[in-house]
Homo-oligomer: A and B are copies of this chain.
């Protein structure tokens, strides 16, 4: 079984890293091959504040919220995500006895993509064109590099950077990166862990968790997903539509979060 586990970068996740690592190590000991992908929004935001480069968000006309990544912000993102968060995760896995190797999408051209020349940003009643944004969509995944490491017994830990067509490093949404990896690797499950129990019909009420969404009904639930959940949900649905047997949006903060997600705790999206 090949699992792609994405560990969210929201505030409050960092304190759960040891428990996450222990559960991933347990899954690996049970025979699973695991690729870890991660975000690092909270760490990048905090570092940006400390460096006088406060985070800004872009809301697309279709309602997607993303990080506005100009050159200074890109440097912050690289230091926070490829430096701090990736090293902390690798270290946590190593300390659970699991050999882990940190990679960014730049390494070996692991994630190649296309930087958009201009993106549309909704600001109040206006739509502006942003031209200095270093964000990219993913066009290919170096599955051979991941396979090389997995076959040798390593757990790749992937940071969401992309090597763009012009040779620039670019920021990419971490959920989309995890989904692209899961699709390209033909994973059995994509598990997106963050600080929510899953897709909630009413974002404020954990009791309204949607437990199972079949692909034929997936579009109908898209309106339920707002803000950052919108991209997460779409990434999960796209992965499931591309052959990943199950995409699961689940809570990183519970005991044994990966095992629980595989047991059905969270929102399971499947055919």
Contacts and interface: CB of A to CB of B under 8 A. Distances in A.
Nearest to A107: B101
Contacts of A87: 78, 82, 104, 106, 161, 169
A223 interface: no
A108 B102 CA distance: 9
Given A102-B104, A108-B154, A167 B82 contact: no
Contacts of A51: 50-51
A91 interface: yes
The bracket for how many chain A residues form the interface is: 35 or more
A149 B156 CA distance: 13
Nearest to A84: B79
Interface in A109-154: 109, 144-145, 148-149, 152, 154
Interface stretch (A22-30, A92-100, A202-210): A92-100
A202 to B, nearest CB: 39
A14 B54 CA distance: 26
A163 interface: yes
A80 interface: yes
A90 interface: yes
A86 interface: yes
A75 B84 contact: yes
Given A100-B107, A102-B107, A109-B99, A79 B90 contact: no
Interface in A4-59: 47, 50-51
B94 A106 contact: yes
A127 to B, nearest CB: 32
Interface string A146-190: 001100101000000101000101000000000000000000000
A151 to B, nearest CB: 9
A83 B79 contact: yes
Given A75-B84, A82-B82, A87-B161, 19 more contacts: A47-B79, A78-B83, A78-B84, A79-B84, A87-B106, A87-B169, A90-B106, A91-B106, A91-B163, A91-B167, A94-B109, A94-B163, A94-B167, A95-B167, A100-B107, A101-B108, A102-B107, A145-B154, A148-B148
22 contacts: A78-B83, A78-B84, A79-B79, A79-B80, A81-B83, A82-B86, A82-B102, A83-B84, A87-B104, A87-B106, A90-B104, A91-B169, A94-B106, A94-B109, A94-B167, A99-B108, A99-B109, A101-B107, A102-B103, A102-B104, A145-B154, A148-B149
9 nearest A-B residue pairs (beta carbon) = A83-B83, A79-B83, A79-B79, A95-B167, A101-B107, A82-B83, A101-B108, A99-B108, A78-B87
